[in-house]
Amino acid sequence: MAKTVFDYKAVLVSLPNLPGVYRMLDASGGVLYVGKAIDLKRRVSSYFQKNDQSPRIQLMVRQIADIETTVTRSEAEALILENNLIKALTPRYNILFRDDKSYPYLMLTGHAFPQMAYYRGDPKRPNQYFGPYPNGYAVRESIQILQKVFRLRTCEDAVFANRSRPCLLYQIKRCSGPCVDHVSKEDYARDVASAVAFLQGRQSELIDGLTQRMMAAAEAMEFEQAAELRDQIQALARVQEKQFVSSNSSQQDCDVVAAVQREGMLCVNLVMIRGGRHLGDKSFFPVSGEEGELADSLEAFLAQHYLGAPLPPAIIINGEISDTLRQHLERQAERKLAIASNPIGERRVWLEMAEKNAELAIMQRANSKATQNQRLTQLNEVLELEGAGRFECFDISHTMGEATVASCVIYDKGAMQPSEYRRYNIETAKPGDDYAAMREVLSRRYGKLATGEGKLPDAVFIDGGKGQVGVALEVFAEIGLNLPIVGIAKGEERKPGLETLILPYLDKSLQLRQDHPALHLIQTVRDEAHRFAITGHRARRAKARTASTLEEIPGVGAKRRQQLLMRFGGLRGVAAASMDDLAQVDGISRTLAEKIYNALH
């Protein structure tokens, strides 16, 4: 039976020039796509008149057998209807993000001795709620922190009311034992207030208050209480060190949304910041429409995630959205809502962090077995090899010739094999002589493998150009090995995607397109060799140098040394602190914090 040709012109004639929603249907009545328009006639006509549609839309148009429309009173109303239909119908060609919307909170109950608990659902008075958190793990991590620092109870009220002796949490100092009156109501309330201050982002204020109480207790010779307060201060300082995000702005609650497209995949990363603390992030991949435009994907996520849901005071995004969506979200918030697409200062840092999270999520997905198999097949075709699956890659790292380290990483069985990685401290080569360093590492590595000690790779990657490849050829000739060597020469300005592959066994060089799966695999292995070499070099350099002490740093006198040591619990804690952590100490400017950090690293 011949396929009936869809007469789109007959449908277009009857469409009104009004706002509304349209649904593209296939021959079986299934919904292919749902869209909104301020002018239905003009928008739907564009699908059949434009010649520059994306491949995804072109494929959809070829399957259209009917079009249904619904007229609305405004574009904003069309936006809501479109979002509801997309969620209900899950059309194949819409960019759809699956999200259960049930985000957890940390709850402090309205009890005389409040319980700290994990909570999902609608907030209820008189309890206090903090969040939402991106996942349950983030809530439980915060609960563990507060247990260690403030010893708040986590037991249910029924258990609390019927205990005659303290539980194990009291014994391991994770609870102050309010159930058996081991802490007064006033002291417990003060601990709860401190926990609330921490959750609201007032860490510096909290630490200052605890420090004053510690000093007062020490002067009153209440040394046991002073020691407990000291432990709380150090625990809070350690928590601050782990926080990637810290905020000094008055507006400390916001969501950061970044859409990123890499390696043929699209990911949206959502970062939740509450009270200036980074509560965690969640990455979303579209379950359909993966080849959509980046701007379309960002707008689709914002609509599906926020329409009809609670909104934070601010949303930071890495692209532009339609005025219709922006205005509707602002009306929905029923208060001032800031949507920033080009942030500055600390918010720019947050957005860059979200973009990095999305890139990492794409990288993890790209490492899936199916993707790896495709890349491996493509790599074998490019290198003109057959069945090659094990590759070793070498890189050299040093600083002005100091503490030279060579790395060897292995890719096998469709994944990197960290347990087989090796580092080599270069001893014979002159400082800065990368060729001699490459000769030493290859001789040491393959001198043993050539005698049968270990498993030979199917090919060897060298992070370098013709000079390093020439050294590898000489070494292999000397030890009698005949392995394919692939040189990875950096492109112009060392930009990824512009690398030249040097293939001496084929007597040629080639440059793959930036999105080639084989190039992505090569880059993954090369970047891992680079990372492994750098971390080894830094460790060797740090071991060789004598660690600086605070006394040797200009501008750090006795008072500032005392403040630093007290805040971070000793020299080791100061050395582990970031520049941002150091700058939060009273009397330590950003410039001085940078001096201290550089002197200790």
User: Using CB atoms within 10 A of its CB, is residue 350 exposed (0-12), middle (13-18) or buried (19+)?
Assistant: buried
Residue 297: predicted pLDDT: 87
pTM of the model: 0.52
Domain region containing 385: 370-536
Q: Is residue 304 part of a domain?
A: no
- Sequence-distant (≥ 6) Cβ neighbours of residue 129 within 8 angstroms: 105, 106, 107, 119, 123
Spell out where 401-494 has E strands: 402-412, 415-416, 422-425, 459-462, 485-489
Question: How large is the greatest C-alpha to C-alpha distance in the chain, in angstroms?
Answer: 97
Whether residue 438 contacts residue 464, with contact meaning beta carbons closer than 8 Å, is answered with: yes
Same domain, 352 and 378: no
Distance CA 416, CA 409 (A): 8
Residue 429: predicted pLDDT: 82
Q: Is residue 248 part of a domain?
A: no
Residue 380: predicted pLDDT: 93
Q: Is residue 427 part of a domain?
A: yes
Same domain, 339 and 418: no
Distance CA 188, CA 341 (A): 43
Closest CA to 283 of 512, 99, 508: 99
Residue 476: predicted pLDDT: 94
Q: Is residue 96 part of a domain?
A: no
158: its two tokens: 């029924």
Report which residue type is found at 292: G
Same domain, 428 and 495: yes
Same domain, 518 and 383: yes
Same domain, 412 and 511: yes
User: Using CB atoms within 10 A of its CB, is residue 534 exposed (0-12), middle (13-18) or buried (19+)?
Assistant: middle
Distance CA 542, CA 600 (A): 10
Same domain, 52 and 143: no
Q: Is residue 499 part of a domain?
A: yes
Residue 263: predicted pLDDT: 72
DSSP designation for 96? B
User: Using CB atoms within 10 A of its CB, is residue 130 exposed (0-12), middle (13-18) or buried (19+)?
Assistant: buried
Distance CA 486, CA 601 (A): 36
305: its two tokens: 């995630």
Closest CA to 32 of 24, 22, 40: 24
Domain boundary among 212, 242, 272: 242
Domain boundary among 89, 115, 139: 89
Kindly give the parts of the chain with pLDDT less than 70: 1-4, 98-102, 201, 203-205, 235-252, 288-292, 369, 493-494, 541-549, 569-570, 572
Q: For position 435, which CATH number holds? A: 3.30.420.340
Residue 288: predicted pLDDT: 65
Q: Is residue 541 part of a domain?
A: no
Same domain, 40 and 80: yes
Instruction: Please write the tens of the pLDDT for every residue from 239-294.
Output: 554 444 444 444 468 899 999 988 778 899 998 888 777 777 888 888 765 555 78
What is the number of domains present in the chain?
5
Same domain, 200 and 120: yes
Same domain, 493 and 518: yes
Residue 424: predicted pLDDT: 93
Closest CA to 587 of 552, 561, 554, 550: 561
Residue 236: predicted pLDDT: 65
Same domain, 467 and 505: yes
Residue 160: predicted pLDDT: 86
Q: Is residue 99 part of a domain?
A: no
Q: How many helices (H) and strands (E) does the chain have?
A: 21, 19
Q: Is residue 563 part of a domain?
A: yes
Domain boundary among 242, 266, 290: 242
Same domain, 502 and 446: yes
Same domain, 357 and 377: no
- Sequence-distant (≥ 6) Cβ neighbours of residue 487 within 8 angstroms: 462, 464, 465, 466, 468, 469, 472, 501, 502, 503, 504
